[in-house]
Structure 1
Amino acid sequence: MTEIDFYELLECERTADDKTIKSSYRRLAMQFHPDRNPGNAEAEAKFKAISQAYDCLKDPQKRAAYDRYGHAAFTQGGGGGGGPQGFEGFSDIFESVFGDFMGGGRRQAGPRRGADLRYDLEITLEESFHGKTESITIDVAANCEACDGSGAEPGTSAISCPTCGGRGQVRAQQGFFVIERACPTCHGAGRVVQSPCRACGGEGRVDKTKTLEVKIPAGVDEGTRIRVSGEGEAGGRGAPPGDLYIFLHVRRHAIFERDGTTLAARCPISFTTAALGGEIEVPGLDGEVLAIKIPAGIQSGKQLRHRGAGMPVLNGRGRGDLIIEIAVETPTRLTARQRELLEEFRTSETGEESPQASGFFAKLRGMFEG
């Protein structure tokens, strides 16, 4: 299962304040509300996803747990149970965050969930535009096949820890307080292996290289985080595995720059096209050639917007815009005939052809004459 980061769903930075998150949620909720998109299953799914993300991030405690554990904070075996709606077992998350400060805290006995893994993946802007399925190879601690992850030699099994009686915790008296800590014998597992598996040395895990096919949706941006459930490190002795988090990095493009769903490109045009107007062709990332009309008398720095030709909306519908910034290029190599024609044009100038230049120099003359 692939899950998109809550901050990505709400189109917010991880450092966004509550007001920004709320504003972004309201905007997206209005855009994808089922009443505004009747019969649109994609819009309904998007609406549910952003509602779930906002339900988590609007609550300071849930957000703190999510920032530390990600989606694992709301799955069984991931530091807490339930989901953002009910957030069952949040006390376990709270104790995991603040337990050491409070003197240890209560912890459930049993093997710990496997660690999460991070994988950094670089893609091109074109791949971000279209989406793709990427094959990645990772080195991971996987369940030992010989003992099926139990850590015990085949034919045997783990027994209840004699030190803690299977509780995984031992108590110690300190003045008026009774402190519970992880059992030093079973390390909180509650069970011990008497006959360790020879294949994994009793760990229940072995190092393994595996290849995964990961779907990257269209519209992902720099820093987008994709969660692949259950593909992290295997848990100790049968405990649930961690998750794999893929962090995406979009390679710089030679022509286009990106800002959210907006694409921008600087386009040089000849000074004759700028003066007389015309049409230029710009290839889009989707392969379609866009015809951009140039109005007569356009100046350098002028921006022309082509709606719907930008990046696709992540997990949504529609596309952003393409902005073309005009750069008028002065010719540097002229034939004799071209120079002759330009000389004729210069001698016929009245000043009205270039009102900005005329106005500027008129002001300068006024300054000195005054």
Structure 2
Amino acid sequence: MAKEDFYKLLELDRNASEAEIKKSYRKMAMKFHPDRNKDNPEEAEKKFKLVKEAYEILSDPKKRAAYDQFGHAGVDSSMGGGRGGFSGAENFSDIFGDVFGDIFGGGRQQRSSVQRGADLRYNLELTLEEAVGGTEATVKVPVLVACGECNGSGAKKGSSPVTCNTCHGHGQVRMQQGFFSVQQTCPTCRGTGKQIKDPCPKCYGQGRVQETKTLNVKVPAGVDTGDRIRLAGEGEAGANGGPAGDLYVQVQVKDHPIFTRDGANLYCEVPISFPMACLGGELEVPTLDGKVMLKIPPETQTGRMFRLRGKGVKPVRGGAVGDLLCKVQLETPVHLTKEQKAMIEKLGESLSGGGKHHSPQEHGWMDGVKNFFDKLTG
């Protein structure tokens, strides 16, 4: 009787990938396993053996190529004749070790003992001037580094780690429960495959010790709160000689007494006197580059915004330099003398007479109030 096509048996296309073959095998092996087919175990066993045979051929690149070219005739000799019958736990362990290993612990491959070190974060506070102009900061970071006494091996000087006698260097142990064989990380060596019989007295066998690193961090001009500076290889040392992680310096810009920042632009409030608001003039205002003169035109209203181009921030990622926007605030005089109060009263009487609107904002607001009440009274 002719054998069923292996691709058809595993419900695969002829161009199926290795991952697809393995996935289909897992599905079909579970479907036809005798323990899951109590009503007809003999028929299930036959189908199970065929599925296993198909997987062994199609998962091997050389055998698969021969099968694709010559069919069953191209692989019969390499199969070594027919397979024996399914005999419980032994065959189940052999067949399902690779399949269930992906689920229960990584298959038969030894877990690599070399591990990359953890990344670290350091919060760096900067003044606005430092963030805008760039600076160089010195930071101290507590970090795990490779032990200098044992060069990171964890073993006492003059000795070395030995093969784990529990897992025999595989890093994993197999637990047998009936037909199921489950692999898990070796509890003795924790997956490294090695044991340290004589630990280093400095790191106690860990291969790493904690130290405080002093690092110089070059902060580029234009950084802002939330930006990160990556220092490659300045994180924690890796386990068992693995590469070190990275250090990420997180920027936090402190509040400034004069300026606030929004992207590339800076903002500030500038107080002006009543006479300057009325008559105009020049006012000295600060910038991060020094002082500049700001021209105030006559009849300037409080809240007006003036733009000083190019006096903002040059973005760290490139682009045009921002602006400084100055918002003028009219300052009410305090501690007036009797003479000054009298002069202001006289000015107020003068401004309210003559039929001219010397206070356009107040006049517009009063007109709006009058129209509002007129609508209410109908």
TM over 0.5: yes
What's the counterpart of residue 326 of structure 2? 324
Q: 1:185 to 1:264 in 2, by over 3 A?
A: same
Once residues 167 and 309 of structure 1 are traced to their aligned partners in structure 2, the CA distance between those partners, rounded to angstroms, is: 65
**Which residue type is aligned with residue 358 of structure 2?**
E
Q: Deviations for 1:58-91, whole angstroms, at most 9, x for unmatched residues?
A: xxxxxxxxxxxxxxxxxxxxxxxxxxxxxxxxxx
Once residues 258 and 212 of structure 2 are traced to their aligned partners in structure 1, the CA distance between those partners, rounded to angstroms, is: 38
Q: Deviations for 1:216-247, whole angstroms, at most 9, x for unmatched residues?
A: 12222122222222222222221222222222
Q: 1:266 to 1:186 in 2, by over 3 A?
A: same
Three-state SS of the structure 1 residue aligned to 2:311 is: coil
Once residues 277 and 177 of structure 1 are traced to their aligned partners in structure 2, the CA distance between those partners, rounded to angstroms, is: 91
- Specify which of 134, 137, 147 is matched with residue 137 of structure 2: 134
Three-state SS of the structure 2 residue aligned to 1:356 is: helix
What's the counterpart of residue 295 of structure 1? 297
Shift of 1:103: 4.6
Shift of 1:276: 1.7
What's the counterpart of residue 284 of structure 2? 281
Shift of 1:344: 4.0
What's the counterpart of residue 167 of structure 2? 164
Q: How many matched pairs?
A: 269
Q: Does 1:359 align with 2:361?
A: no
Answer yes or no: is the 8 Å Cα contact 1:305–1:322 preserved in 2.
Answer: yes
Q: Give the TM-score normalised by structure 1.
A: 0.65
Shift of 1:293: 2.2
What's the counterpart of residue 237 of structure 1? 240
Shift of 1:340: 4.7
- Specify which of 258, 264, 284 is matched with residue 267 of structure 2: 264
Answer yes or no: is the 8 Å Cα contact 1:217–1:314 preserved in 2.
Answer: yes
What's the counterpart of residue 246 of structure 1? 249
Shift of 1:153: 2.0
**Which residue type is aligned with residue 184 of structure 1?**
P
Shift of 1:138: 2.1
What's the counterpart of residue 311 of structure 1? 313
Runs of at least 5 residues in structure 1 that lack an aligned partner in the other structure: 1-100
Q: 1:176 to 1:234 in 2, by over 3 A?
A: same
What's the counterpart of residue 115 of structure 1? 118
Q: 1:359 to 1:283 in 2, by over 3 A?
A: closer
Once residues 246 and 301 of structure 2 are traced to their aligned partners in structure 1, the CA distance between those partners, rounded to angstroms, is: 53
Answer yes or no: is the 8 Å Cα contact 1:117–1:232 preserved in 2.
Answer: yes
**Which residue type is aligned with residue 307 of structure 1?**
R
Runs of at least 5 residues in structure 2 that lack an aligned partner in the other structure: 1-101
Answer yes or no: is the 8 Å Cα contact 1:125–1:250 preserved in 2.
Answer: yes
Answer yes or no: is the 8 Å Cα contact 1:138–1:209 preserved in 2.
Answer: yes
Note the aligned Cα RMSD (angstroms): 2.7
What's the counterpart of residue 41 of structure 2? none
**Which residue type is aligned with residue 269 of structure 1?**
I
Shift of 1:167: 3.4
Three-state SS of the structure 2 residue aligned to 1:206 is: strand
Query: With CA pairs under 8 Å and 6+ residues apart, which has the higher RCO, 1 or 2?
Result: 1
Once residues 142 and 365 of structure 1 are traced to their aligned partners in structure 2, the CA distance between those partners, rounded to angstroms, is: 77
Once residues 177 and 321 of structure 2 are traced to their aligned partners in structure 1, the CA distance between those partners, rounded to angstroms, is: 63
Once residues 307 and 173 of structure 2 are traced to their aligned partners in structure 1, the CA distance between those partners, rounded to angstroms, is: 68
Q: Deviations for 1:90-122, whole angstroms, at most 9, x for unmatched residues?
A: xxxxxxxxxxx9654578411322222222222
Once residues 170 and 148 of structure 2 are traced to their aligned partners in structure 1, the CA distance between those partners, rounded to angstroms, is: 27
